[in-house]
Structure 1
Amino acid sequence: MSPQQKALFLPRKQGNFELGSRSIPSPEAGQLLVKIQCAALNPVDYKIKDAGIIVTDYPAVLGTDIAGIVEEVGEGVENFRKGDRVLAHGKFGNDFTGFQQYTLTDARFTAKIPPSESFDSAATVPVGLDTAVVGLYGNDFGAGVTPPWTTSAGGHESKKPIVILGGSSSVGSYVIQLAHLSGFYPIIATASSSNEGLVRDYGATHFFDRNLSGKQLKAAIGKITDSPIGIVYDAISLPETQSVAWELLANNGTLVLTLFALVKEDEGKGRKVILTFGDAQAPQNQELCGSSWAVVEKWLSEGTIQPNKYEVLPNGLDGILGGLERLKLGQVSWNEVGCSPSGNIVNA
């Protein structure tokens, strides 16, 4: 194996991406070296470039949704071996990111890809699923719901309604599926009318068009259930969706957001606003995400969790630039786009 690899660099803050080369890292204890086959793109990738957020060390390699083949196994890793097909949630830091040919992954946040899934489909899972997991089950960055994998009984939230705004988005699709696992009912989701079938396939029991006003949506939901809406997960979190979510939320309820809050918590009604943070590597999330990653292979194998819808685009690392531009211009109807250095781009 050559000691050098191709990579797509962001050379400076708010600079333009450039192709180059860098050394292939070696795995330390608890890590894997993965030959990347596909790395999904997220909106945060173009926001890092345009706004200069999150990343502080340059030149930087981005990309945190990873699928590939295990090339080397670090000390103490017992459940993976060379040749395994895996998916992983990377982290910002050039040795652990996806826009290159090889990357290191943390074995705790890596899972085997079952034969039923491709590298492309698997790459749509990590960031979206972790953001859904943390937003629903996290105590620091989420609603604190009891995770469904913690007991064989399941159904912790039986008969409790939940509303997911943006049900066809990457994060929204996983929230729907986890809500089903947790026993929520009804599971109410919004999306564009063209995505109704997709959202219902993920497990939404009721669907409403995303263009309904807060008042209209509240009236429609009132015909389904008279139970208070204790959790609204706004996977879009734009000003208009936050306003709708806040109107739906019951006293003492929790609104989970993926972007900064524009609504304010109100002491009188006891409603909370949580900005979730789906980084599996964050200290507050490591225990929760470690336990969820332990069941990812099983979920995918059994079809309990379905990966996102995706599209394959050409030109490998070069194709990332066009994919990010499409995301920025709103030309992708899902939440992620991804690429493979060997020539595949996936958007999900």
Structure 2
Amino acid sequence: MSPQQKALILPKKRGNFKVGSRSIPSPGTGQLLVKIRSAALNPVDYKIRYTGIFVTHYPVILGVDIAGIVQELGEGVENFRKGDKVLAHGNFSIIDQGAFQQYALTFATFTAKIPSNQSFDSAATVPLGLNTAVAGLYGKNLGAGIHPPWVKSISDHEPKKPIVILGGSSSVGSYTIQLARLSGFYPVVTTASPNNEDLVMGYGATHFFDRHLSGNQLAAAISKVTDSPIRIVFDTISLPETQSVGWGLLAQNGILVLTLPASVKEDEGKGRKAVSTIGSPHLPHNHELFRSSWAMVEKWLSKGIIQPNNHEILPNGLEGIIGGLERMRMGQVSGTKLVAHPQETQ
């Protein structure tokens, strides 16, 4: 009998989570087997649980934010060794690659070493949030398509341009602010709850506004900060009401980047565009972009160029994820990433 591990299993569409046992997988070509020390929770996890979106085959193991220790190397893996501390972007579409279990397979291409100045818990807050920000800003298919700042270009000295990020205290929002700063945007305008103002300014926002402002009020406030047209709005919340606000801020031919399907429609002939980005490196059209960005992750974290999210540790290992997802669904988590320790499962 193959070695067993504990996993948080969703047995069927809109079913109830249960902690069960399953085999520990072996890595294939280009893969690592990682003993998961920390797994972070994301809104997509409870949305799948309650709506069944994105998943077609059950049982499924959710979660994509992985931090842990390399246990085995698959064929062709050269840049990692057994015992390395790593973070990685998992894949809930393949049961062996989900984060909510004690061991998972990751692809070396989308795995990075954790530098000594970061913990497993802080590193686990990075993958999906950062990847969604990368896809939304730099993706050519489902993003704004701007030039990545880590790739040299003859146009590196373009004049500074403004960007508006709705929901700056969210995980995606925090990484979008940091990448916008890295890309040279100015001003970097964001919205959040007033109690998260210091948080978003610490990430690099240059101007903060209360998320409760109406669309007209926000537009008026931004007009006092910059008279340049707003060509990019990144709506990390993407509810119909925030999409409407973002849509109204956009200049002619601007782009609204969303994390959920678009509810706005172009009806004024302004050439505005709304795109729903997807932060998965496993999609073929994202491979090249994420291959280059993941090569930078260790350096970014080591030098403090990218700061991980604030986090809270959930008790009771994998069992704690169930209550954590419910808190997120009820809107009881703000400015903080919830992190579980699979190895502490009883």
Deviations 1:143-171 (A, max 9, x none): 00000000177856541000000000000
Larger CA deviation: 38-47 vs 295-304: 38-47
Equivalent residue for 1:307? 308
Q: Which residue of 1 aligns with 2:202?
A: 201
Give me the whole-angstrom Cα distance separating, in 2, the residues matched to 1:45 and 1:335: 16
What letter matches 1:50 in structure 2?
Y
Equivalent position of 1:61 in the other structure: 61
C-alpha distance in 1 between matches for 2:157 and 2:173? 20
Q: State how far apart, in whole Å, the 1-side matches of 2:22 and 2:156 are.
A: 48
Native 8 Å contact 2:255 2:275 kept in 1: yes
Q: Distance in 1 between matches of 2:267 and 2:284?
A: 29
1:94 is aligned to: 95
Within 2, Cα distance between the matches of 1:195 and 1:182?
Answer: 23
Partner of 2:343, secondary structure, is: coil
Aligned mates of 1:19, 1:253 — CA distance in 2? 46
Deviations 1:28-58 (A, max 9, x none): 1100000000111111111111111211111
* 1:157/1:184 contact within 8 Å kept: no
Structure 1 residues 153 and 46: CA distance shift in structure 2, 3 A: same
Range moving further from structure 2, 65-74 or 259-268: 259-268
Q: Please, what TM-score do these two structures have when normalized by structure 1?
A: 0.96
1:286 maps to 2:287: yes
Contact 1:146/1:156, CA 8 A, preserved across alignment: no
Q: Determine the structure 1 residue equivalent to 2:335.
A: 334
Q: Provide the residue aligned with 1:37 in structure 2.
A: 37
**Structure 2: distance between partners of 1:202 and 1:154:** 25
Task: Tell me, yes or no, if structure 1 residue 230 matches structure 2 residue 231.
Answer: yes
1:205-264, CA deviations, whole angstroms, 9 ceiling, x for partnerless residues?
Answer: 111110111111111111111100000000011111111101110001000001111111
Q: Percent identity?
A: 70
Equivalence for 1:322: 323
Given the superposition, is the C-alpha separation of residues 191 and 128 from structure 1 closer, same or farther in structure 2, using an over 3 Å criterion?
same
Q: TM-score, normalised by structure 2?
A: 0.96
Unaligned runs of 5+ in 1: none
Q: Which residue in the other structure is 2:21 paired with?
A: 21
Matched, 1:253 2:251: no
Aligned residues: 344
Distance 1:119 1:152, change over 3 A: farther
Which aligned pairs between 1:33-182 and structure 2 lie closer than 5 A?
33-92=33-92, 93-151=94-152, 155=156, 158-182=159-183
CA contact (8 A) 2:36 2:68 kept: yes
Larger deviation, residues 333-342 vs 277-286: 333-342
Regions of 4+ moved over 3 Å: 152-158
Q: Secondary structure at the match of 1:148?
A: coil
Q: Secondary structure of the residue that 2:318 maps to in structure 1?
A: helix
* RMSD after superposition: 1.6
How far residue 19 of structure 1 moved from its aligned partner, in angstroms, is 1.1
